[in-house]
Copies of this chain bind each other. A is one copy, B any other.
Amino acid sequence: MSDSDDKQQRKDAKHKAAMQKQKAKVDARIEEASLERGVAVLVTGNGKGKSSSAFGMVLRALGYGMKVGVVQFIKGKQLSGEEIFLRDRLPEVDFHQMGTGFTWNTQDRSGDIAAARETWEQARRMLADPAYDLVVLDELTYMIGYDYLPEQEILDAIANRPREQSVVVTGRGGGAALQELVDTVSEVKDVKHAFRAGIKARRGVDF
């Protein structure tokens, strides 16, 4: 056996031992998790990828033939790529949009609040309906942050949803009470963004 073969075999053996240890750890953790029910997930933070993460979960649920509802708060008058796809290719998804555009474009607080209320009624209906396996509330956090909707009403609707229903909320912030209520919180940090290097937002990636 050459030195190099010997080195390779030791590396392989070391890898195997490390992976056996890792497998034992993962198996133990899977064993411990015993509660089975729908989960509430918050994807927050200032980085790119929050809404797309929620839409990835929509695909996941649809893969299993689940019933999915999507309510988008704030998002623009102009349809983005995932919205076009949802409308044209996924008619089975119950899809509602506030569609007033960003608050800094409307500059109309009273109008925004009325639109938020109307959109929220769609979300509340889904959160009360056990037929939905997954409900996505895209950009809902801003409704709390801007005080467009009563925080407690949102918390109650999420807390009292059907036991088997999962819900994904996206958007910056959201507040401590929402973080406390949900099961999983992922914070997407903006480590680096193409924008700051002067690169334009890219169709099919950024919108």
Name 7 extra pairs, CB < 8 A, besides A60-B81, A189-B189. A12-B109, A38-B202, A41-B48, A49-B50, A60-B85, A64-B81, A186-B191
Quick check: is A39 within 8 A (CB to CB) of the other chain?
A: yes
Give the residue of B35, B53, B54, B183 whose beta carbon is less than 8 angstroms from that of A192.
B183
Mark the stretch among A21-29, A117-125, A154-162 that contacts chain B. Answer: A21-29
Is B60 touching A195 in the complex (CB atoms < 8 A)? no
Say how many copies of this protein the assembly contains. Answer: 2
Contact B188 A41 (CB under 8 A): no
How many interface residues does A have (CB within 8 Å)? 91
Q: A12-B109, A39-B205, A205-B166 are in contact. Are A32 and B198 (CB under 8 A)?
A: yes
A52-B53, A82-B63 in contact; A191/B187 too (CB < 8 A)?
A: yes
Closest to A56 in B: B52
> Which residues of A from 168 to 204 have beta carbons under 8 Å from B?
168, 179, 182-195, 197-204
* Distance of A173 Cα from B25 Cα, bound (Å): 20
- Please, which residues of chain B bring their CB within 8 A of the CB of A66? 204
**A2 at interface (Cβ–Cβ under 8 A)?**
no
Q: Contact mask A135-170 → B, CB, 8 Å, 1/0?
A: 000000000000000000000000000000010100
B48 touches A184 (CB 8 A): yes
Q: Within the complex, what minimum Cβ distance (angstroms) separates A64 from chain B?
A: 5
Cβ of A114 within 8 Å of any chain B Cβ, yes or no, is no
Considering the chains assembled together, what is the distance between the CA atoms of A86 and B53 in angstroms?
Answer: 16
A22 / chain B contacts, CB cutoff of 8 Å: 103-104
Knowing A16-B107, A22-B104, A55-B55 are in contact, say whether A62-B85 is a contact too (CB < 8 A): yes
Residue A45 at the chain B interface, CB threshold 8 Å = yes
Judged by a CB distance under 8 angstroms, whether A34 is at the interface is yes
Bound complex: CA A12 to CA B113 (Å): 11
Does the CB pair A188–B187 fall under 8 Å?
yes
Q: How many angstroms between the C-alpha atoms of A146 and B200 in the bound complex?
A: 34
